[in-house]
Amino acid sequence: MVKFFVRRISFAALVLLLISIFVFSLSRASGDPRNVYLDEYATDEMYEAWGVKLGLDKPLYIQYLTWLGDVVRADFGESLYHNRPPYDLIKERLPATISLAAIAFCWALLVGIPLGVLSAVKRGTFADYFARGFALLGQAMPVFWVALMAILIFAVELGWLPTSRRGGLNSYIMPALCLGWLPAAALLRITRGSMLEILDGEFIKLARAKGVSPTVVIWKHAFRNALIAPVTLAAIIIASFLTGTVVIEAVFAWPGLGGLSIDAIKNNDFPMMAAIILMFGVFYLLANMLVDLLYMVLDPRVRVE
């Protein structure tokens, strides 16, 4: 177990190092960083002074090592658009994204997985066709269109829910449902496919021949063995939620990481973009590690070695 964690942590550190090299390279590939800070009225003396301040008078590898040392200390400089440290802005916006992502993830799990199981068990029936239709619509309709239609119907026409902004519990309903719409459909399809494969297995036929109750066959034997693929997808979903629900946050004016990402891109805010990209990488690596651990819990045949 110790070797497993050491190996995984080493691999994660290597991936983060490669991401940092990529991010730093982008900052230099886009041109001289001084062009972001200075306008056309800057004198040659100001230009040279900023070069010394930013360390541009040193070799490229020294510039990278200096920047990496600051990043390790969570010092990304100052946001060019917000005029504040990116780390402080992320700490302020992260709770809004986490709360929205948690509700959307729970809704996707509670709808997608049970419907997937029901569709597989009742294949060829009305329940199966209904679940497959839900999955088809969920993956065919764009999320931004669903969000706009939800605002038009439930906020503008009926007046049941607020149109935007983070407030009480009712302000979470539309963003969370729209955010979890596509993941619920994807989980339904993955769960249904995995369950159909397991239900046709020889050990399931043997369990039924021995007189094991259908409930035990479905939930203890079939469902647990079919969870590997849905768990993998679920980890990817929760990581993508936490890394900024850009479209939904833009539509509902949600004060989360999505808004920070859009502002950073529009305003060429490299310190903010670097902080967000590296944070995204950390979230995905943690999700992958969590999946590896869940594999061992769900399937005893999976061993750390």
Digit-coded pLDDT (tens) for 181-230: 888 999 999 999 888 888 888 888 888 888 888 888 888 778 888 888 88
- At 302, the pLDDT band (50, 70, 90 cuts) reads low
Number of domains in the chain: 2
Work out whether the CA dihedral 277, 282, 283, 288 comes out positive or negative.
positive
DSSP secondary-structure letter at 141?
A: S
User: Length of the chain, please?
Assistant: 305
- At 35, the pLDDT band (50, 70, 90 cuts) reads low
Whether residues 224 and 97 fall in one domain: yes
CA distances from residue 283 to 4, 194, 233, 305 in whole angstroms, order as listed: 19, 26, 15, 25
The residue ranking higher by pLDDT, 136 or 212, is 136
The residue ranking higher by pLDDT, 74 or 34, is 74
DSSP secondary-structure letter at 83?
A: S
Whether residues 47 and 111 fall in one domain: no
Span of 22-36, 158-172, 197-211 with lowest mean pLDDT:
22-36
82, part of any domain: no
Span of 15-29, 210-224, 231-245 with lowest mean pLDDT:
231-245
Cα separation of 114 and 122, whole Å?
A: 12
The residue ranking higher by pLDDT, 21 or 167, is 21
Residue 109 has pLDDT above 80, yes or no: yes
Whether residues 267 and 139 fall in one domain: yes
Whether residues 40 and 113 fall in one domain: no
For residue 265, what are the contacts with CB-CB under 8 A and spacing of at least 6?
273
**Range of the structural domain that residue 240 is part of:** 87-298
Residue 181 pLDDT: 87
Q: Are 105 and 180 in contact (CB under 8 A)?
A: yes
For residue 103, what are the contacts with CB-CB under 8 A and spacing of at least 6?
172, 176, 180
Residue 188 pLDDT: 92
Whether residues 24 and 133 fall in one domain: no
- At 146, the pLDDT band (50, 70, 90 cuts) reads confident
Whether residues 14 and 146 fall in one domain: no
304, part of any domain: no
Cα separation of 259 and 90, whole Å?
A: 11
In this structure, what CATH number is given to the domain that contains residue 255?
1.10.3720.10
**Tokens, residue 222:** 């079939």
SS3 for 9-76 is HHHHHHHHHHHHHHHHHHHHHCCCCHHHHCCCCCCHHHHHHHHHHCCCCCCHHHHHHHHHHHHHCCCC
Mapping DSSP to helix (H, G, I), strand (E, B) and coil, where does residue 219 land?
A: helix
Q: Are 98 and 242 in contact (CB under 8 A)?
A: yes
Residue with tokens 């001084």: 34
* 147: enclosing H helix or E strand: helix 143-150
Q: Taking residues 62-69, what's their average pLDDT? A: 84
Whether residues 249 and 132 fall in one domain: yes
